[in-house]
Amino acid sequence: MTEVPRRQPTLDEVAERAGVSRSAASRVLNNAPHVSRAKRDAVRRAIRELGYVPNPTARALATRQRGVVALVISGESPSIFADPFFARVIVGASAALEEADLYPMLCLAATDRGRQRLEELLRARGADGVIVMAVRENDPVLHIVRETVLPVVFGGRPVGYEPPWYVDADNAGGARQATEHLLARGRRRVAVICGPLDTHVSRERHRGYREAMMLAGLEPCDPVIGDFTEPGGAVAMAELLKRYPEADGVFAANDNMAAGALRTLRGAGRATPRDVAVVGFDDLDIARITEPPLTTVHQPVQALGRESARMLVGLIRGEQPTSLVLPTRLVTRSST
């Protein structure tokens, strides 16, 4: 005997079970504002009880939304997926988008083909909004996202452009605090390993270092440039020792490079912190397992993704959120 397929419940039935109007049930499904908590809970309970599954095509036509947010990262794929910083950002953004019933679409835009696909996606309005990360100076991605009519939130500010909406960390303030901490430990020949200076984050962390040194009446060292990776930090530290063999403190602009710097110092017979104290930035998991454990500047990485997504959800719903700079704080461990 052929089994008759079970009929899918309708939105009208959900509304009747919840004791609300059809329009109220629809507003709950679309995460619209101005719905009471009681009605929202009743509709969600009715959805569970009836096993209601929204029709994504009908929903898109009704709301003119795709239910998708483009998470754009302008960086090389291997380095992006190897860096726990971006993993945390993506986790934070995904959680906030899930709360709003939106799906993240990861768009890697480091290549010409990747940028072409992104441009096509935005031109076709294949997403409801865009979150942009890791944009460098004169990055073609910046031009692409500035041309779109979709709402755009930047996770970290780009160089040379002040976007209407962004979420950033207090990079200059954190770097200043890191350098001041080294100076307070009695270090006077403090050098710096920066990330690529075509990024806003690197420039701001370098600025914080310079400000702390000048306020202390000390001459800042010229930056040695790394690439935000552990191997890059090791190479940069070797170059730093050639340029500044008398250095007794190092501020590295992220934890990965600081870990590489510790490895090079150990290989050169320089004890940390006795000979050279080291401070990193980010407070990633690697900072707890270096030898010695790394003093670093904590920034709320996951919150960076979460707040960027929440800001974008607000824009999609017609709100006018305010850009946000997240605070940083020093975490002291055994490397200083």
Upstream peptide bond of 292 is cis (omega within 30 degrees of 0): yes
Q: Bigger pLDDT: 149 or 3? A: 149
Q: Work out the mean pLDDT of the chain and round it to a whole number.
A: 90
Cβ atoms of 277 and 185 within 8 Å: the answer is yes
Rounded average pLDDT over 308-324: 93
Question: pLDDT (tens digit, 9 = 90+) per residue, 183-194?
Answer: 999 999 999 999
Angle CA(148)–CA(59)–CA(14) in degrees, nearest 5? 150
Residues of the chain with CATH 3.40.50.2300: 68-167+301-325, 171-298
Among the residue ranges 16-20, 252-256, 305-309, the one predicted with the least confidence is 16-20
Residue 1 is predicted with a pLDDT of 47
Residue 53: CA atoms inside 13 Å, Cβ hemisphere, count?
Answer: 5
Output the CA–CA distances (angstroms, integers) from residue 94 to 42, 98, 110, 298, 335, in the order listed: 26, 6, 21, 21, 34
Residue 320: CA atoms inside 13 Å, Cβ hemisphere, count?
Answer: 0
What is the rounded CA–CA span in Å between residue 60 and residue 54?
Answer: 10
What is the rounded CA–CA span in Å between residue 304 and residue 71?
Answer: 13
Given a cut of 90, is residue 228 above it in pLDDT? yes
Cβ atoms of 208 and 251 within 8 Å: the answer is no
Residues of the chain with CATH 1.10.260.40: 11-63
**Two structure tokens written together for 91:** 């986790």
Burial class (CB in 10 A: 0-12, 13-18, 19+), 109: buried
Given a cut of 60, is residue 62 above it in pLDDT? no
Cβ atoms of 73 and 145 within 8 Å: the answer is no
Residue 220: CA atoms inside 13 Å, Cβ hemisphere, count?
Answer: 20
Question: pLDDT (tens digit, 9 = 90+) per residue, 34-52?
Answer: 678 888 889 989 988 888 8
User: Which of the listed CATH numbers 2.60.40.1120, 3.40.50.720, 3.40.50.12780, 3.40.50.2300 matches domain 68-167+301-325?
Assistant: 3.40.50.2300
Given a cut of 60, is residue 105 above it in pLDDT? yes
What is the rounded CA–CA span in Å between residue 14 and residue 49?
Answer: 9
What is the rounded CA–CA span in Å between residue 286 and residue 59?
Answer: 44
CATH number for region 11-63: 1.10.260.40
At 7, the amino acid letter reads R
Given a cut of 80, is residue 29 above it in pLDDT? no
Look-up: residue for tokens 């009681």?
A: 38
Residue 199 is predicted with a pLDDT of 94
Look up the CATH superfamily of 171-298. Response regulator (3.40.50.2300)
What is the rounded CA–CA span in Å between residue 216 and residue 24?
Answer: 62
Residue 94: CA atoms inside 13 Å, Cβ hemisphere, count?
Answer: 9
Residues 6+ apart with CB under 8 A from 86: 73, 75, 80, 133, 134
pLDDT band (50, 70, 90) for residue 88: very high
Helix, strand, coil share of the chain (percent; to 5):
45, 15, 40
Output the CA–CA distances (angstroms, integers) from residue 261 to 170, 216, 249, 275, 333, in the order listed: 23, 24, 11, 13, 16
pLDDT band (50, 70, 90) for residue 69: very high
Strands 277-282 and 249-252, sheet pairing: parallel
